[in-house]
Amino acid sequence: MQIYLPIAEMSVNVFLLLAMGGAVGFLSGLFGVGGGFLMTPLLIFIGVPAPVAVATEANQIVASSASGILAHMRRRNVDFKMGAVLLVGGLGGSYLGVWLFGVLRDIGQIDLMIRLSFVVFLGVIGGLVLTESSRTLLRRGRKGPRTKLHQHTFLHGLPFKMRFRTSRLYISALLPLALGFVVGMLAALMGVGGGFLMIPAMIYLLGMPTAVVVGTSLFQILFVTANVTFFQSLNHQTVDITLALLLLVGAVIGAQFGARFGARLRGEQLRGLLALMVLLVCAKLLFDLITQPENIYSVGMLGSHS
């Protein structure tokens, strides 16, 4: 059954969209990741214009983080003060990101930027996770040397120190501001929540306790993707509600199955699998960038929104 997507202005099979939502939802439930970094490239692969894919995926992440955050709030796993500081940076970053998106589109480089950003991020993340999980698998049973719990670096010498009670931290507000800013920028340019970058940074860079990391990052992601949705709609009219809803239905159901299935698998194997998948998507994007396109000429509307 074909459905005409009003903003993407293309006809797509409904079941394909539901299956994509379901598959990415399954993976996100299985691995406990957002899924935006897989869904945006998939949408581009099936022919959705890259700007629409990015903006619509941001809209879908609003929904998936909204459903996740309530559980974390009930368990008091959200550091609202840290979340607020991250968010201030995030709002700035995402606003600037949407503006930059428009500039890049006008000069005809937005597709390239989106694809390149994905190649770099997926490549780095996939590579890191793969080495880490394979090392853990090989070193199984042996104990590595314990690293110091808290290392002092130049980051702790930064000014504007702030106390974050829930996270039991006294650090410079510049750190979460900058982190939020970078993640907000990624949300606007790539249509990802940015959890894959923010969660490790919160643990290793800010030194937050792991218990509050996921809830706090969801808090930031919810508001930042909402901000991206708003400004992409306002400036570029690239948010396709129909597409977002169809993906959402599949994703919600898929995530439930993924979470149940994931409970039966070992952590390192899971991470290894995720890394392989991420690298596969990365390789496909890279392959498309380096092979000569069938037609080296592309056409766009001049001075209008397309």
Partner 1 sequence: MSAPRLAPLFAMLVLATGLTVPTPVHAADPLIADLSKDSIEITTGFAGTDVLLFGAIEGEGDVLVEVRGPASDMVVRRKDRTLGIWINRDQVGFADVPSFYRLASSADIYETARNKTLIQQYGIGAANLDLTPIGDVLDARQASFRAGMIRNFEASGLYSEDIGGVVFLGPGLFSVKLHFPANVVTGTYGVQVFLLRDGLVVSKRNYSLVVQKIGIGAQVFAFAHKHPAAYGALAIAIALLAGWFAGFVFRRT
Nearer to partner 1, 267 or 300 (CB): 300
φ/ψ of residue 165, rounded to 5:
-65, -45
Distances (CA, A) of 168 to 64, 75, 213, 269: 28, 17, 12, 33
Distance CA 20, CA 35 (A): 11
- Assess 71 for contact with partner 1 (CB under 8 A): yes
Of the residues 16, 18, 66, 277, which one makes contact with partner 1 according to CB under 8 A: 66
* Binding residues for partner 1 restricted to 256-295, rule: CB under 8 A: 256, 289-295
Grouping H, G, I as helix, E, B as strand and the rest as coil, residue 60 is helix
* Binding residues for partner 1 restricted to 243-262, rule: CB under 8 A: 244-245, 248, 252, 256
Would you say 53 and 44 are in contact if contact means Cβ atoms under 8 Å apart? Answer: yes
Nearer to partner 1, 172 or 242 (CB): 242
The footprint of partner 1 on this chain (CB under 8 A) covers a number of residues equal to: 59
Nearer to partner 1, 16 or 277 (CB): 16
- Assess 187 for contact with partner 1 (CB under 8 A): no
* Six token digits for residue 192: 């990802």
Grouping H, G, I as helix, E, B as strand and the rest as coil, residue 13 is strand
Tell me how far, at minimum, the Cβ of 78 lies from partner 1, in Å: 15
* Six token digits for residue 292: 């000569």
Distances (CA, A) of 121 to 36, 58, 113, 124: 12, 17, 12, 5
- Assess 233 for contact with partner 1 (CB under 8 A): yes
Of the residues 80, 237, 262, 273, which one makes contact with partner 1 according to CB under 8 A: 237
* Binding residues for partner 1 restricted to 112-131, rule: CB under 8 A: 112, 116
Distance CA 256, CA 28 (A): 9
- Assess 104 for contact with partner 1 (CB under 8 A): no
Site residues, partner 1 (CB under 8 A): 1-7, 9-11, 59-60, 62-68, 70-71, 108-109, 112, 116, 226, 229-235, 237, 239, 241-242, 244-245, 248, 252, 256, 289-305
